[in-house]
Every structure is written in structure tokens, then in C-alpha cells.
Amino acid sequence: MTDLSYQLLSKNGFTDAYIRPLVFTGPNMSLTPPEASHLFICAWRWGKLLGDNLVNVATSSFCRPHPKSCFIDAKVVGHYTNSILATTEAKRKGFDEALLLDVNGYVSEGPGANFFMERNGILYTPPLGNILPGITRRNVLDICQKAGIPVRQQSFLPEDVYGADGAFFVGTAAEVTGLASLDGKKFRRAWKNTFGAAIQNLYKARVLQEEKIEAFI
């Protein structure tokens, strides 16, 4: 798949693009496992999903699907219905994006990105189990380990995010996007003075194969 992706980029003359592989079934209306599966890979030029500015986020009235309702840790196309509903609701209320909770009321993730918050010198991110174990999330955790940024993977409530030092989304399309506020409540630090801003630069360097991490804590 990696080789095919490079071939796709070469055929389209892309050096910077969004790549989407998709596995799909053949014709099947019986609601049973199909006999065959297929793969296609497409790519197109696309800027950051949420743009380059800080985004204002609202806690969604929609929650992430129960982990026993489907393979919640898989990137399943059908899950995007939940994402579309949450984002549409947030935008109709005047916000840029949504933040979804899990079935127990704890912070889960964004409609298309994982979530991190900074409080008192520590980064917090929801644990696996109710979220997509994103590739970008995994890279950010690795960057934090190398840079000496302490991270705790634990459950927390939206109220715990209010008054935090900063917060950000991470994902293939979102990359690392800083948040300006949650439910109208702004974060305490200027974005440039947060772990998120440093991670944003370190992640970009990693993607461009210019990575050089020095611990700064």
C-alpha cells in the first residue's frame, strides 16, 4: 500500500496531498460477510481540515457510539454519519467544530480528530476504548516522549477542560490544530506559549522529514 501510494502521487504530480485508502465490499444485500473485498487509493490537494486559525469548539449533544455497538477503534465509513451530525450542529450554533463525549459523559474526540488538553504542565488525552487510535495521535505521543512532555491518558469531563492552559485536535486532515475556546470559555495561555504550539511545529517537521527534537522540559 505504501508503494501504491507513492505511485499514485507520482502519476498525479503531487508532492503534498491527502491520501485516502478505502477497503470496500462487492455487491451484497444479505447483511452477512461478503465473499470478496476491494481496495482503492485516491489523493488530492487539501489544506488543513480546520484551517490555520485557532478554532472555537462546542460540546456536542451527540455522543460517540457505544464501543460495543461496532468496532469503535476502526476507521469505518459509517461512523462519519455521527461526525457529520456533530459538526453540522456546532456550525449552526456559530462554532467552528464540535467536541464529542463518550456514552459515560467523558471527553472522547472531535468529529475527525483526537483531542489533547494542557493543564498545569501536563498534557491529557482520552484513553483508548472509546476513541479512534489515530496515527497522528500516536505520532504526537511519540513526539511528546522524545521532547520530555508529560502525557497522561485518562478520562476527564468537559468541565475539566474549562480553564485549561490550552487544547488542540490532531488528525491526518486536521494535522495539529489549536483551539481557542470550548463552549465559549477561552483557554488561559496564548497558543504560542502552549505545548500544542511546540508540538504543531515538531509534527510538521516530522511529516516533512526535517525532524530534530530537543527536550525542552
CATH number at residue 121: 3.20.10.10
Is residue 215 included in any domain, yes or no?
A: no
Q: What residues make up the domain containing 31?
A: 2-44
36-68 pLDDT, tens digit per residue, is 899 999 999 988 888 889 999 999 999 999 999
User: What pLDDT does 31 receive?
Assistant: 85
Is residue 216 included in any domain, yes or no?
A: no
Query: How many structural domains is the chain composed of?
Result: 2
Catalytic residues, by residue number, are: 75
Q: What percentage of residues in the chain have a pLDDT greater than 90? A: 82
Is residue 133 included in any domain, yes or no?
A: yes
What pTM did the predictor assign? 0.92
The answer on pLDDT for 33 being more than 90 is no
- Looking at residue 152, the DSSP 8-state letter turns out to be E
Mean predicted lDDT score pLDDT of the chain? 93
Q: pLDDT class for 131, splitting at 50, 70, 90?
A: very high
